[in-house]
Amino acid sequence: MFAYRIGDPREDLAPDDRDNAACCALGAVIDSAFTWGATGRRASPGTRRSSASCTSAALRSCTPRLPVQMRGTYAGLGSEEVLRHLQDLGVTAVELMPVHHHAYDRHLVEQGCPTTGGYNTSAFFAPNLRYAMNQTPSDSVREFKTRVRNLRSGSIEVILDVVYNHTAEGHHTGPDALPARGGQRLLLPYRLAADNPRFYVDYTAAATAEHAPPRVLQSIMDSLRY
């Protein structure tokens, strides 16, 4: 991988040649087979839209009464206690803030308050391992699917909030998942400033993604289907 030396007055024009292989993002190939049972993979629990009641939740903060090891996890979300609580409230759908793997905002970390929202997406096809009791890629995916199945079996629909207009990659000084060349970075390509293509267009407090290329649209649609 390639990076820029933080703090150098030349900003992204100052390469950092230190080896950062130990902290680079890696992928995992898993067995995606899963038995969804009576809920079906795509079937809605059957609630009429006119009588639906939806609640939005950040996974980190919606399981406070569970045993410590289960709080803020997929396992906790789909537990009997949480399911009963949602049913008692009359909730028919839970909208989860992004559960994709994400990076913490650097300026928030420096202030001691990393965000729990998950809007700094860094992997569109991977559930966040921080939310899993089982810390292997395949087990974390199975844990997430199992708890979604539990909620759906209890007639509670699960809606996933997703982010595609930007990613965890930053502006021209990074952070980068891979080096930028003509706006083509690892996660998504980004819109370049017309008057100076060294810089990115920023509409959302982050480098704004460019969705026009066919492969970008394909990646987003594949992620939505998955």
Q: Which domains does the chain have, with CATH numbers?
A: 47-101+126-163 (3.30.750), 165-226 (no CATH)
pLDDT at residue 147 tops 70 = yes
CB within 8 A of 67, min separation 6: which ones?
A: none
pLDDT mean across residues, the chain: 84
Cis peptide before 175 (omega within 30 of 0): yes
Q: pLDDT tier at 107 (50, 70, 90 boundaries)? A: confident
Q: What is the pLDDT of residue 42?
A: 55
Q: What is the pLDDT of residue 178?
A: 60
Q: Give strand pairing partners of 127.
A: 100
Q: What is the pLDDT of residue 1?
A: 42
Mean pLDDT, to the nearest integer, of 167-182? 70
With tokens 């933080």, the residue in question is: 6
pLDDT at residue 32 tops 60 = yes
pLDDT at residue 184 tops 80 = no
CB 46 within 8 A of CB 155: yes
Mean pLDDT, to the nearest integer, of 129-154? 93
Mean pLDDT, to the nearest integer, of 28-44? 78
Instruction: Output 132 or 23, whichever has higher pLDDT.
Output: 132
pTM: 0.82
CA distance 70 to 136: 16
> For residue 87, what are its two tokens?
């049913």
pLDDT tens by residue, 191-224 = 989 999 888 888 877 788 898 889 989 999 999 9
